[in-house]
Amino acid sequence: MYTITTGGSSSDSRSRSSSPRQGGYAPRSRSSSSSEGSRSGSSRGGYSSRGPSRGGYRGGSSFGAPRAFNAKRSFKKDFIDEKLFINKEAGVTETDHYDAKHAFTDFGINEVLSANLTAKGLITPSPIQDQSIPVVLKGGDVIGIASTGTGKTAAFLIPLINKLVADKDHKMMILTPTRELAQQVEAEFVAFTKGMKLFSVSCVGGAPIMRQIKELELGVNAVIGTPGRVMDLIERRKINMEFFDSIVLDEADRMLDMGFIDDMRSILGAMPKEKQGLFFSATFSPEIKRLCSDFLKDPITVSVKARDTASSVMQDVVRVNTDAEKVEALHEILIKPEYSKVLIFREMKRHVDGLAEELNKRGFKALALHGDMHNRERERAVKALEAGKVQVVIATDVAARGLDISDISLVVNYDIPNNYETYIHRIGRTGRAKKLGHAITFVPKARESRTSRY
């Protein structure tokens, strides 16, 4: 169902314009002898000495992680009926059909942008793109109720890039819940803006902050980051939200789940009153509704019901009790030739590392992926699985959303997830792009006597 209602990869050596408001920070001459902590109070885009005029946040920095006072969360598992882990009649036939009202060339966007879209094979918009892009191009606010895989990234990037072309003083901020999603959005930005001399920076935790600061000082048109790291840079006076007139919250519900609500409100509150806001979320919770009410003006709501991810994934359970039984069962699964790209989910970071070590001892090529790893290590794991250099990546739920690797042949829930929504996001890493996927969940043999754990 589809409804609509009212209510270049950057480098340190690149050449930049030193225009006012470049990047929403205080640009510093490369020959300047001023210290890094110096402030500029000029109207040329510097962060004034009075600091942010709105938002009122005065907490410490967290380098891309939720603030300490938001970190106290309940990790009690929901009960999930074992039957929900089983679907042996999966198929890839889509029951819903959508006839797009436009082609991308109908939107009247910049010629270079249009050519870049065509080069990427983007001809006909998806439902969320078809209905959102015209609204955003007219300057309207949008609430997009859409899940991963609906094409929402292009739905906000295309019209906002077109806005950048028309006004180089325009700056946009895109907030995402995870590093991986931020980097994927930036990769799309780079592809869409090829030859347009528009610059972006990914501001995420786990990556060197000084490199990000240098990019900001060189000048950017788009900041794509996680709320914690963006707040850190705001507090360091390297980002001034008064110069950003467009903002995107991508997967807003996930950012709320991760405890970023205060960071999100501070960032939004520090922006000019007249701004364009695009909020995308898989669900429309009361918290999201309040956020929209507080910061959006007469938004258009576009709701896209995507094909149920689980319907394209063959799902089954494997009954095991001990850790030894789990490892042996996994070994027997991984030796099957059809499982060449496997994503395994574990709950704890140390368990991820332990299983990766065990599988490598057994002769399987496996890498770990979790939040304690350096950004380059996480990127290496993703790229290695994508390229087929390793057979297995073991991950925490950091990879349950925002990770888009083509042709994942199998998802293994080595540990049962905390709730069914997380399960759906996990298995959604396979069975993508109209292909049939496979998912296996390890469950205890005597489940009825242990249900209180789940």
Q: Is residue 111, in this structure, part of any structural domain at all?
A: yes
Instruction: Give residue 24's pLDDT.
Output: 56
Question: Tell me: the pLDDT tens digits for 392-430?
Answer: 999 998 776 667 788 899 999 999 988 777 888 888 888
Does one domain contain both 251 and 336?
no
Does one domain contain both 218 and 179?
yes
Does one domain contain both 207 and 285?
yes
Instruction: Give residue 310's pLDDT.
Output: 65
Reported pTM: 0.64
Q: Is residue 49, in this structure, part of any structural domain at all?
A: no
Domain, as residue range, for 149? 97-304
Strands (DSSP E) contained in 259-299 are 276-281
Q: Is residue 37, in this structure, part of any structural domain at all?
A: no
Does one domain contain both 272 and 136?
yes
pLDDT band at 141 (very low <50, low <70, confident <90, very high): very high
Does one domain contain both 368 and 284?
no
More confident residue, 391 or 400: 391
Question: Tell me: the pLDDT tens digits for 288-334?
Answer: 999 999 999 999 999 886 555 567 889 999 999 999 999 999 999 99
β-pairing, 342-345 vs 410-413, is parallel
Q: Is residue 396, in this structure, part of any structural domain at all?
A: yes
Instruction: Give residue 22's pLDDT.
Output: 44
b/e per residue 319-329 (b: at least 16 CB within 10 A):
ebeeeeebbeb
Q: Is the pLDDT of residue 97 over 70?
A: no
Does one domain contain both 108 and 222?
yes
Give the percent of the chain with pLDDT over 90. Answer: 53
| DSSP β-bridge partners for residue 246 | 172, 276
Q: Is residue 415, in this structure, part of any structural domain at all?
A: yes
Instruction: Give residue 206's pLDDT.
Output: 83
State how many domains the chain has. Answer: 2
Of 10-19, 114-123, 212-221, 357-366, least confident by mean pLDDT is: 10-19
Q: Is the pLDDT of residue 86 over 90?
A: no
- Domain boundary (304, 339, 370) is at 304
Place of tokens 């059809």: 338
Instruction: Give residue 217's pLDDT.
Output: 95
Q: Is residue 261, in this structure, part of any structural domain at all?
A: yes
List the CATH number of the domain containing 106: 3.40.50.300
Q: Is the pLDDT of residue 166 over 50?
A: yes
Return the biggest CA–CA distance within the chain.
70
Does one domain contain both 291 and 372?
no
Does one domain contain both 294 and 377?
no
Q: In what order do the strands lie in the sheet with 200-203?
A: 2-5, 300-304, 142-145, 276-281, 246-249, 172-175, 222-225, 200-203
pLDDT band at 48 (very low <50, low <70, confident <90, very high): very low
Does one domain contain both 174 and 269?
yes
- Domain boundary (304, 334, 353) is at 304
Q: Is residue 2, in this structure, part of any structural domain at all?
A: no
Does one domain contain both 253 and 113?
yes
- Domain boundary (258, 288, 304) is at 304
Q: Is residue 251, in this structure, part of any structural domain at all?
A: yes
Length reported for the chain:
454
DSSP codes joined into one string, 315-376: EEEEE--SHHHHHHHHHHHHTSTT--SEEEE-SSHHHHHHHHHHHHHTT--EEEE-TTS-HH
Does one domain contain both 430 and 287?
no
Instruction: Give residue 150's pLDDT.
Output: 79
Does one domain contain both 226 and 344?
no
